Amino acid sequence: MPATLIEQKDNRVTIQLTVELTGQMLADEQALQQSLNEAGQVAMVPMLKQFDTHGEPLRVGGVKHTLKNYAPQTYETPYGPVPVERHTYQTCQGGRAYVPLENDARMILNSTPRYSQMVSGKYARFGADAICDDLLECNGRTLSRNYAKKLSDFVGSVAQCHETEWEYDVPALDGPVASVGLGLDGTCILMHEDGWREAMCGSITLYDPEGERLHTIYCAATPEYGKERFHAKFSREIERVQARFPEALYVGVADGARDNWVFLEPYTHRRIVDFYHAREYLSKAATAIFGRDHESRDAWVTDWSHRLKHAQGTAGRLLKELGVRRATLDSKDFIERDEALRQVLVYYTNNKGKMGYPNHLKRKLPLGSGVTEAACKTVVKQRMCVSGSRWKEGGASCVLALRTLKLTPGRWQQFWSYVMRHGCTPY
């Protein structure tokens, strides 16, 4: 027997459903899921109708609207499609129709907020085909891949359009914030028109006095020339954190790319080159110096890595060491080895002032950009570089907007709170 509405009294709805037990657990569970979906569809009718008017004239933004018609519309819900008759309004001059039910219930396209949240949340993690399979298997809910993408892109566009005005709170933390690490880096994704291009990713990490990570805020942007859009977005995030934690010590951590430091300098008290990038250049120098002598090469890298990390002034001493080693290179593969050492010398010369690792270690400040490197992988690569993926600008920007909301703790819930308060118009 299908689910039926037994009673609707005031704000209370009573639904009756029946499940016939067969003695086969999987079949009984599937039958229960179907009955629950039927009950949900029945309950959704009065749930939606509570947001409709009785047909009386109303004002929207100070402009009078009168009834245009009373017509059925099918809405997508977590339980299945639900047909509902609702009032549609228009001004005396025509133009865009206004549907009070859809506005006040915060419908997104023709989907309920909860269903939109489910679909777009899944789309942030995996592709449209996987969403359809997941909803069918877990919820008994059928969905077309085109609608999954359309709905998710709409939610992503809402997030982007309101990112300058909707501010997100930092969740309750386990301790006081002593320092904040700021990092940015690029990683490539395959674009539909331009081939492989660099998308940008940034991280803002809050640390306690012991150097333990408390919270991380992620920021990302699709490939662009000049990085202006990403820099503007990342700057807003940094400025909001600085307003929230003005007493914290702000530390910029990145690789040796000059444009990273140009951006980070105004926002940071200290700047440090990622230790693991610096160590990679030690390995490059050791290969040029020792060639195939792996034992000597590894011992040299280990020794200088330890000194660089724990002994103040090591960067200067290392530059002298590299100069001596370069001057005494033998003739075998001289050109290639000399060029490799020249590049290492340039790298350490340019970044010598940002290699105060012993002092940072003593003060329990971040030494590496591992959080940012991980963000490049988790925010961008895991979703954008699955097999066969090629992206257009609009679709890629929507997915990154959804992923940064999902992966930054607390933001997904706050975003939907904003949607329920202010609506979801993407402009």
| pLDDT at residue 409 in the model | 96
- Mean pLDDT of all residues in 159-186: 94
Q: What are phi and psi of 263, to 5 degrees?
A: -70, -45
Query: What is the topology classification, in CATH, of domain 179-274+368-409?
Result: Nucleotidyltransferase; domain 5 (3.30.420)
Residue 265 is given by DSSP the state G
Going by C-alpha positions, the residue among 37, 76, 120, 57 that lies closest to residue 395 is 120
CA 363 to chain centre: 30
Distance CA 33, CA 243 (A): 48
| pLDDT at residue 2 in the model | 85
User: pLDDT > 90: what percent of the chain?
Assistant: 85
Strand order of the sheet with strand 63-77?
58-60, 63-77, 80-91, 94-98
Inter-residue contact 162 to 418 (CB < 8 Å): yes
Checking phi first, is residue 333 left (phi over 0); if not, alpha (psi -120 to 50) or beta? left
Note the residue count of the chain: 427
Three-state DSSP class for residue 164:
coil
Distance CA 259, CA 187 (A): 15
What confidence category does residue 138 fall into, taking pLDDT thresholds of 50, 70 and 90?
very high
The tokens describing 287, both together, are 């290969």
Q: What angle do CA 81, 87, 89 make, to 5 degrees?
A: 125
Express each pLDDT in 396-415 by its tens digit. 999 999 999 999 999 999 99
Distance CA 299, CA 288 (A): 14
Any idea where the domains of the chain sit in the sequence?
A: 179-274+368-409, 276-359
- Mean pLDDT of all residues in 141-145: 93
Express each pLDDT in 244-288 by its tens digit. 999 999 999 998 888 999 999 999 999 999 999 999 999 999 999
Distance CA 358, CA 356 (A): 6
